[in-house]
Amino acid sequence: MIFIVVKFKTTPEYTERFLDLVGPFTLATRAEKGNLWFEWSRSVEDPAEFVLVEAFRDGAAEAHVTSEHFAAGLEAMRPALAETPRIVSRQVDGEGWERMGELRIDDQPSA
């Protein structure tokens, strides 16, 4: 799978409405064939920084970055960004989230 993490630093006037701004892009991406997840979080250290964790089945990421909603999503967020986003994008083994072996909670079944 392709595993991607992107950090977005927002400008003060957009920070509180950033998730609404990227809402249509998020919904369209989650509906893509081959999208495994597309999840936003907000930094606990910097409220103006949003972190996107996403994953695609092998080969599906190319369709994502060439889609109309991808281009529209980038343009929608462009005025809200204080700097160029930072990204890590890697091919990794696996099909999804696995349970953490080092911190097992006894009342949950093993994966």
Q: Is the pLDDT of residue 98 over 70?
A: yes
Cβ neighbours around 99 below 10 Å, total: 11
Domain ranges of the chain: 2-91
Residue 71 tokens, joined: 């281009």
Q: What is the pTM of this model?
A: 0.88
CB 95 within 8 A of CB 37: no
Are the CB atoms for 19 and 50 separated by under 8 Å? Answer: yes
Q: Phi and psi for 92 in degrees, rounded to 5?
A: -135, 155
Element (H, E) at 76: helix 68-77
| 48-59 pLDDT per residue, tens | 999 999 999 987
- Tell me if the domain spanning 2-91 has CATH number 1.20.1250.20: no
